[in-house]
Amino acid sequence: MSIETENQDSLTESPTPPPLKLLSSKEQINLIKKGEIIEVNLPPVNKSEANQWGRIIDDFKIRLQKIDKSWQLGTKTVIKSGDRLLDIRQLSELEGILENIGLTLDIIITRRRQTAVAVASAGYSVKQESSLVTFSDTKKEKKEENQALTEPLYLKTTIRSGVEICHPSTIIIAGDVNPGATIIAGGDVLIWGNLRGIAHAGANGNKQALIMALKMLPTQLRIADLVARAPDNLPDNYIPEIAYISNEGIKINPAENFYRSYEFIADKNYWQIR
């Protein structure tokens, strides 16, 4: 009798796990066509659910089989990750899915500094948006306060041709900026290397912003709404230099002792010799 009881117990089937709950529209990756680009919006993180990313990707693949794919091959695509942390493995997975349906990843827009650093270091174009709440964007003081509170973006990499890095505060790059690359900062641009691409400091209108490089060979310099091209006569020996707004437009001077020699005149919106 005891043997029969054991056999009965061993043949008892385990209960069937409940089916997975379908994702709501707020939990899904949403793909939207906006003019000539495709926008891919990632959902916020659900901290209470394990393996959420795997479910989101599986759901996205299934829904892609049913949607209208009337875009042209190679259409540029923007990924908006919001406050979600996105690592390189997840980004590569997303890029592969987009390539399979004829889309080309152009830029990632994020509010997380960690995502911006990871994405830029891997060679992708990235724009970091401020996560600060702005109650009155029309006030200059509020914009400057938000910019000051945003941490600088520090990258230890070479920025390749075709890559664009955009950040609401200062951008610091320990590496070169190659021709064809673009750096856009709400604050200063500091290049601990060769600047050969385009640098735009004070992109939100801050004329006090500076551009500094160990070797200044830019394709173009921009500070606030002013634009300057590279000088025609290049020096034989390069030294660290700073580009700034003077009463005559954008000028370049040696970086050594710059703050001792120059001061910013707020009511005139330019730097001048002390």
How many whole angstroms separate alpha carbon 199 and alpha carbon 52? 39
* Poorest-pLDDT segment among 30-39, 58-67, 143-152, 234-243: 143-152
- Is residue 67 predicted with pLDDT exceeding 70? yes
Q: Which CATH architecture has domain 134-274?
A: 3 Solenoid (2.160)
- Confidence bin at 145 (pLDDT 50/70/90): very low
DSSP character string of 152-165: PEEE-S-B-TT-EE
- The residues with which 153 forms a beta bridge, in sequence order, are 171
Question: What's the pLDDT tens digit per position in 170-226?
Answer: 999 999 999 999 999 999 999 999 999 999 999 999 999 999 999 999 999 999 999
How many whole angstroms separate alpha carbon 62 and alpha carbon 139? 46
Q: Report how far apart, in Å, the C-alpha atoms of 256 and of each of 79, 242, 246 are.
A: 41, 9, 17
Domain ranges of the chain: 22-129, 134-274
Only one residue has tokens 């010799």, namely 273
For domain 22-129, give its CATH number from 2.60.40, 1.25.40, 3.30.1600, 3.30.70: 3.30.70
- Is residue 24 predicted with pLDDT exceeding 90? no
- Confidence bin at 15 (pLDDT 50/70/90): low
Q: Report how far apart, in Å, the C-alpha atoms of 20 and of each of 68, 89, 179, 212, 246 are.
A: 26, 24, 50, 54, 63
Cα 11 to the center of its chain, rounded Å: 56
